[in-house]
Every structure is written in C-alpha cells, then in structure tokens.
Amino acid sequence: MDASDQAEHAESTVATGRIFAALELSKSAWVVAMRLPTTEKVSLFRIAGGDIEQLYALFARARDRVGHAVEICSCYEAGYDGFWIHRALIARGIENLVLDSSSIQVSRRGRRVKTDRTDAEGLIRVLMAYHRGEHDVAQVVQVPSPQEEDAKRLLRSRSNLLRERIRHSNRIGGLLHLQGIRRIDPSRRNWTAALPNLRTADGSAFPPQLMREIRREAKLLATVQALLAEVEAEIAGMVRDVNKRRHPAQRGHSHAIATKLTRIRGVGQQSAAVLATEVFYRGFNNRREVASYMGLTPTPYNSGSMERDQGISKAGNRRARTVAIELAWIWVRNQPGSKLSQWFHARAGTASGRLRRITIVALARKLMVALWRFLEAGVVPQGAIVR
C-alpha cells in the first residue's frame, strides 16, 4: 500500500470511526475516559461533578481534533445521579448507554485496584465491546421516561412513610417499657389520652424529661400518619375510574394499568399501583423477561459432578418481587378455583415450612406472567374471578 492509499485508508477509518467516552461519576468530580478513532490511547479528563456544559465542551474539542462530524458514544453506570445526564446527552445527539454496574465482570483477585481512573478505563473497554456486538458484556438499563420515573415516587414515598411510622411506634413503645408500661399501644387511636398522670409500674411519678421525649415522638408519629393518609388517598385515586366522582384528596391522574389490574379479584389498590409503576409500564418480549426483571428466575449451579439449585436470582426489582410474593399468598386465598391455585395445592399439598415457601415463589412467577398476558392480550388467568 503506497502513501496515497494509506492516507485514503486513514481518512476512511476516521470518517467511519466513533468517539468512545465513559463517565465515572461522583458528587465532587467526573472522570471522563475518551478514545478517539485516530488513536488507540485512552485519554482521561477530570471535570467538576454535575458540570454538563463542561462535558459538552470536552466532546466538542474531541470532534474538532478528529476533524470530522463523527458519532460520539458514551456510557456511565446507573447510580446516584439517575437518568438526567442520559437525557441531556441524548438531547445533544450523543448516543449514550446507562449500564448496570452489577452486571459488569471484574477481576476476582483478593485485592484488585479500584480507582476512578481504572473504572473509567474499564468502562471504555466494555462500551467498545458492546458496540462490536458483544451485548453480554454488560446489561443496559432501560431508561424510563420522566413521567414513568415520576409515577414511581408515590409508592416509594409510602414505603418510606411506613418505615418511619414503625420506627416512631417502636421508639415510643421502648421508652414506655423502660418504666414497665406495657398497656399503651401507639398504633391505637387516641393512645395519647393515657399519658396525663401516667405513673411507672412501681407507682412512682413518671420522669418528666422522659414524658417530654415521648410527646415529641408522638407529634412526629402523628405527622407521619397524616402524610401517610394523604399518600394512600392519592394511591386510591390512581386506580379509580376517571368518570367517577372522587373526594378532593383522591383526585389526580388515574393509572390505566393499575385500574385494569384491580379488575381481578385479590389484586388490591396498593399491589396494583406498585406493579403498574414498577413493572408493567415497561415493554417485555416474553415471559422470561418478566420473571427476570423481578428476580424470580432460578439460578442453577452445575460444575463437574456438583449440581444444585441456588434459589431465585433476586437480581431484579426488589419492590416488585416483594409485592409479587405477597400477592401470590393472597391469590391462593381469594382465587381458590383458579388453575394457578390448584397448581399450588397439587405441589405443596399439606406441606409447611421451606417447601411451601419455595412453591409460593414459583406461583408468584407464574402469576406475574399471567398478569402480564392479561394486560397485553386481555387473557384472563384460567379460572380467575374478574370483577
């Protein structure tokens, strides 16, 4: 190949090449690893954390250096920064991937080097392999729309409030127990009416500072309960018919998927709302993808003569998996004539303990697939009662 052919080959390589960039994100700084199509060297840059304009300028300089309007392919790991960076890059015409960090293979040495620099360089190699067609090197996160992402907040807020309610109730119960008081239950209505003139179990005067602390916790508990009532009223509005008149606290945008799920007996408002906002807003190609997203797929271990089952993967959506298993227990009780319930009883029978728990997880997987088919094609689970 003479000099002119080499120049033509180099020019065609640049024209058809890509700029690969990997972002290692943190609160204080972003480390950007970049590989140009004209070189095999990976360059590293450090910019202020959250400075998206500086990142745009860095990409613009890289394009100017190449001298052609080449495509920029970037990636970063899903984490604290969420998806706003992905949306900003896509809006600028930059192809971006959000990777699941737990799916990226790492060295199994006892002590491996881990710095922002090495992580960024590793992401570059993963990104280039993915664009070569090796799609098994990492799992790409399906980025939800802003509306789909915002719809998850209501149910997650309820989960946080439930934990807060339990925490304050346990705290009050523990403070009362220090003085031998067992008859007061903070979960009951008007429980604070028993606090005035309260005495310890041995008949002594109740310590004043301890009483003040209990009353402070009671105010926090009342605030959490009021907020929880507002959230639950809004969730109830998600699954009601838009044509029905609702209380002002329950008005809002109804969720078509949640409303459709509640047509099946045994699927309550909370379960329907969680499944609608966490799972079934996504598109699934087959039943295996449904089970895999919830972490309900089996994980066998077969190596040489060793063969055993490690249980479900638990790699999917934790909130959805919890609701799916709870709903499976409810399904057995409320849909006894369905084919799924009969399948469960045929295998579990009168067994108890571990075998019954394993079988209910298998039923949860089948139930989620059946609900997906109901939403996609209108196929009602065989023998199920529909409202």
The rounded average pLDDT for each run of 10 residues, N- to C-terminus, in the chain (387 residues) is: 45 60 93 90 92 94 86 93 95 94 78 80 92 91 91 92 96 95 91 92 94 96 96 84 42 74 92 92 91 89 82 86 95 94 91 89 95 94 90
- Domain membership of residue 281 (yes or no) is yes
Whether residues 193 and 312 share a domain: the answer is: no
Whether residues 296 and 176 share a domain: the answer is: no
- Residue 381 C-alpha from the chain's centroid: 27
| Distance in angstroms between the alpha carbons of the first and the last residue of the chain | 76
- Look at residue 345 in the predicted model and tell me its pLDDT: 93
- Look at residue 88 in the predicted model and tell me its pLDDT: 96
- Look at residue 254 in the predicted model and tell me its pLDDT: 62
Range of the domain at 96: 3-131
The SS3 call for residue 302 is strand
Whether residues 289 and 222 share a domain: the answer is: no
Label residues 236-274 b or e (16+ Cβ within 10 Å = b): bbbbbeeeeeeeeebeeebbebbbbbbebebbbbbbbbb
Looking up residue 38, the CATH number of its domain turns out to be 3.30.420
Whether residues 159 and 211 share a domain: the answer is: yes
- Domain membership of residue 355 (yes or no) is yes
Whether residues 124 and 167 share a domain: the answer is: no
Phi first, then psi: give them for residue 96, nearest 5 degrees: -130, 145
Domain boundary among 246, 277, 303: 246
Domain boundary among 246, 270, 291: 246
- Domain membership of residue 137 (yes or no) is no
The alpha carbons of the chain give a radius of gyration, in whole angstroms, of 28
- Domain membership of residue 350 (yes or no) is yes
- Look at residue 69 in the predicted model and tell me its pLDDT: 77
Number of domains composing the chain: 3
Whether residues 314 and 260 share a domain: the answer is: yes
- Look at residue 5 in the predicted model and tell me its pLDDT: 47
- Domain membership of residue 384 (yes or no) is no
- Domain membership of residue 382 (yes or no) is no
Whether residues 163 and 96 share a domain: the answer is: no
Domain boundary among 225, 246, 267: 246
- Domain membership of residue 138 (yes or no) is no
Torsion of Cα atoms, 6 then 9 then 14 then 17, to 10°: -140
- Domain membership of residue 305 (yes or no) is yes
Whether residues 10 and 122 share a domain: the answer is: yes
Whether residues 152 and 194 share a domain: the answer is: yes
Whether residues 205 and 280 share a domain: the answer is: no
Whether residues 270 and 329 share a domain: the answer is: yes
- Look at residue 350 in the predicted model and tell me its pLDDT: 81
Whether residues 240 and 341 share a domain: the answer is: no
What order of strands is seen across the sheet that includes strand 95-99? 42-48, 29-35, 18-25, 71-77, 95-99
